[in-house]
Structure formats: C-alpha cells, structure tokens
Amino acid sequence: MTLALPITCPLCGMQLAMNPKAIGMGAGSWEVQCTECWQACEGVSGYDSRTALAYKQLSELREQFVNTGDITLVEDDILKLAHDYDVTFQDRHCDCGAPFSIAAKPRCPVCSAIVFNSYFHYVFTPDV
C-alpha cells in the first residue's frame, strides 16, 4: 500500500505511479474508476449515510487483500458491492460516456489499459 509506487503500463509502457484509495488525506472518500478509461470520481464516502456501509466494507476488503495479496478472495464481494452501490452514482458518467463503478480497476491515462489488478488503488502520471 505504498504511496506513489512506480508502475509501468503493461500495454503502452507509460511510467505511472500508484496510490492506495482512501488512505492519508483522502481517507474519508473512496474514489471510483470509470469502467472504460482512466478517469475517476468521488463515489463512496464514509460520511454519507447512503454509502457509509459500503465504505466500511471496502476498507475491510482492502485489509483482507493487503493481508493475503490475493485479489480473487475479495472479487465476489467487490462485485456484490458494485451491484448494490453503483446505483448511488449512476447519474454521473465519465466524459467518455461509460459509467463509474466500485468494481472498475485502475487504467492508464494514455491507452486506458488496466494497469494493476486491484480495486484498492488508483494510478496517476507522476510529476517529472
């Protein structure tokens, strides 16, 4: 769960960095990714009564992922959360037209390929 961990896009080779979601200064909000491109929006808040339970469950699933390193152990629970809670932000769509989802993985800002097999991280272009 290291901050600004260097990572390379597996498709285009872009040098990126990866951060965990809802850690540090952004701990109260769990951003959700677009299902087709790199953009994200604020989606799940620990302070919003509509999404506080989902925030708690995501935090618990992240802890399980961190302890095991096995994303497959939490996959079904993530998909269920997405099914139950994506509706709370269904009125917001990405600029590309696709929906945002709890179950979307981080994508490259250059080619939109999935960069890392995680629901608990986001990627960005580091300042050079």
Query: What is the residue extent of each domain of the chain?
Result: 7-101
pLDDT per position as a tens digit, 89-110: 888 889 999 999 999 999 999 9
pLDDT at 2: 65
- 25 pLDDT band, cuts 50/70/90, is confident
Give the number of other Cβ atoms within 10 Å of residue 46's Cβ.
17
How far is the C-alpha of 10 from the C-alpha of 15, rounded, in Å?
10
Percent of the chain clearing pLDDT 90 (strictly above): 77
Q: What angle do CA 64, 68, 71 make, to 5 degrees?
A: 75
pLDDT at 23: 86
pLDDT per position as a tens digit, 72-91: 999 999 999 999 999 988 88
pTM score of the predicted model: 0.88
Percent of the chain clearing pLDDT 70 (strictly above): 97
